[in-house]
Structure 1
């Protein structure tokens, strides 16, 4: 009798498990969809008109440009990277804060949700762009260059999602280090979207210069220095903080210069010289690195002291 009773108690528990997994998968899919949309929202609130194109087939006014869910233009490439990368990072953060029981299922469903939004936006925007561009070799180079940038940004967002959503604190801290620069650019896009580019407060670029260092410092403090393998996370995050803004600066400089558009050797040469200058001692990167290390060490020290006090209590 007791054995039969035991069996009847076990059945509902096993029935609940798939139902719970299904519910968490649905929630994660919704989280991913919302995060993907939130990533693109700073662009959408501007009215989402395709930026004016140098290679457009017919002359038109800005307000006559078609609706595009992504800001496709060589002048907006950093905004495009920021919008697409941040969607993945936000979904990863949401999964991490939620901490679902079926973490792997939830993470992959969140990826599905983000991808659904971003793929639809990419297909729609590039269809509109293709329809309006004048033909020619330079047009093809421009179109496929932008497409490669969009796809790379979506992949970067998925990597960020997997890292930030991971159980390991060190892995999540690494994910934060990878996305702080695009996420800061995304926050600036909000200011531009709300206030307009011409009305942007003068302090915004200065604040945006220091925000990545503060966020990396906080991530390093949260990560800590023990076990010693976490020092690798510190080194990588500081490398990201040094290199990624320099790469962004180089890309922006090259793509915003119309004089050398389409001249690949000249573009590469200019990009290399801007990148070298940005990475060098006069580029100012050492100040942000010092700030990040300072915050990281101070935070890790405070956490270590607090942990020691708690453990020494009777």
Structure 2
């Protein structure tokens, strides 16, 4: 664009044009799509509800009803992975497209994700509730799996907001939590059908153990540790890489123990014991922390090299 200068001569306006805004309905669709991508590992299974120990009738796996979430005490990490990863995807999209969101873009994106996940949770709860045999055990079981989905929903919403809107330190915390969920999500994507696991799948699952720590390290490197807030965020992200899997193991172990189904207090106590035992295993605690630190250091070093290379170019420009 050409404008008149102070001396009357024409000058070129070098200001960048405003980014084209994306409509509110499009953002709503992007939110729904993010939630659906999160559901991908479950969609690939055919979405048949897993066999239930407390099901009211004898039913073959192929005859189980369709459910939008895999409600089962053996699918705790998958439920969490599906919900949190979908929300994290939306958060990353929102952060990378801030200039194109408009006034209600983020709200529409968030609504698309959360409403889709709420619908999936309610539908799965209704299907499971209608199929379980009457009794206290069934009620406790249903409340437990719904509670897991609800907690995952809350964590996912927090992750979305942290990544989408907070400064880098806040976004790092969200990315650290999401990194743990990505590990569960990828594991379900690799082994998305029940049955024997192939050698290739076993090898991939072994490699996937490193993914959360690597992603956490990349996020720390992206954020940097040059302020107190970012250091605190980095420590929080490292803690999530250890505590997240420990919580998942504890919940899966407690809810998967049928003998404790009638005794919620004992189930909770057993879960706490498993959580403490997992944290006490150095291989499960030190390995992800050290891996994340090494990756973060590598990313920070790479960024420093890029800055040094760009500095002479910047000085050479008028």
* Aligned-residue offset at 1:311: 2.9
Mapped pair 1:61 → 2:57: no
Question: 2:84 & 2:253 partners in 1: Cα distance?
Answer: 21
* Aligned-residue offset at 1:160: 1.1
* Closer/same/farther in 2, CA of residues 239 and 94 from structure 1, 3 Å limit: same
Mapped pair 1:277 → 2:263: no
Q: Which stretch of structure 1 is more off in the superposition, 74-83 or 254-263?
A: 254-263
* Contact 2:168 2:230 (C-alpha < 8 Å) held by counterparts: no
Question: 2:128 & 2:243 partners in 1: Cα distance?
Answer: 31
Mapped pair 1:289 → 2:289: yes
Q: Which stretch of structure 1 is more off in the superposition, 70-79 or 103-112?
A: 103-112
* Contact 1:92 1:107 (C-alpha < 8 Å) held by counterparts: no
Question: 1:52 & 1:234 partners in 2: Cα distance?
Answer: 40
Question: 2:255 & 2:160 partners in 1: Cα distance?
Answer: 28
Mapped pair 1:47 → 2:46: yes
Aligned to 1:29: 28
Question: 2:61 & 2:173 partners in 1: Cα distance?
Answer: 41
* Contact 2:173 2:233 (C-alpha < 8 Å) held by counterparts: yes
Question: 1:85 & 1:183 partners in 2: Cα distance?
Answer: 8
* Aligned-residue offset at 1:197: 4.5
* Aligned-residue offset at 1:227: 2.8
* Closer/same/farther in 2, CA of residues 196 and 58 from structure 1, 3 Å limit: closer
Instruction: Give secondary structure in 2 for the equivalent of 1:284.
Output: helix
Aligned to 2:197: 199
Q: Deviation string for 1:256-283 (max 9, x for gaps)?
A: 2223223223222322222112112434
Unpaired runs of at least 5, structure 1: 1-16
- Normalized per residue, the structure richer in helix is 1
Aligned to 1:245: 245
* Contact 2:69 2:79 (C-alpha < 8 Å) held by counterparts: yes
Aligned to 2:5: none
Question: 1:282 & 1:250 partners in 2: Cα distance?
Answer: 17
Question: 1:152 & 1:196 partners in 2: Cα distance?
Answer: 26
Question: 1:171 & 1:189 partners in 2: Cα distance?
Answer: 28
Aligned to 1:10: none
Aligned to 1:5: none
Aligned to 2:80: 81
* Aligned-residue offset at 1:104: 6.1
* Closer/same/farther in 2, CA of residues 45 and 258 from structure 1, 3 Å limit: same
* Contact 2:136 2:262 (C-alpha < 8 Å) held by counterparts: no
Question: 1:104 & 1:254 partners in 2: Cα distance?
Answer: 45
Question: 2:126 & 2:236 partners in 1: Cα distance?
Answer: 38
Structure 1 runs, 4 residues or longer, greater than 6 Å off: none
* Contact 1:57 1:134 (C-alpha < 8 Å) held by counterparts: yes
Aligned to 1:262: 262
Q: Deviation string for 1:7-51 (max 9, x for gaps)?
A: xxxxxxxxxx9xx76x43222111101011111121122111111
**What is the aligned-residue RMSD (CA, Å)?**
2.0
Unpaired runs of at least 5, structure 2: 1-17
Aligned to 1:14: none
Aligned to 1:3: none
Question: 1:205 & 1:127 partners in 2: Cα distance?
Answer: 33
Aligned to 2:4: none
* Aligned-residue offset at 1:103: 5.8
Q: Give the paired residue count.
A: 294
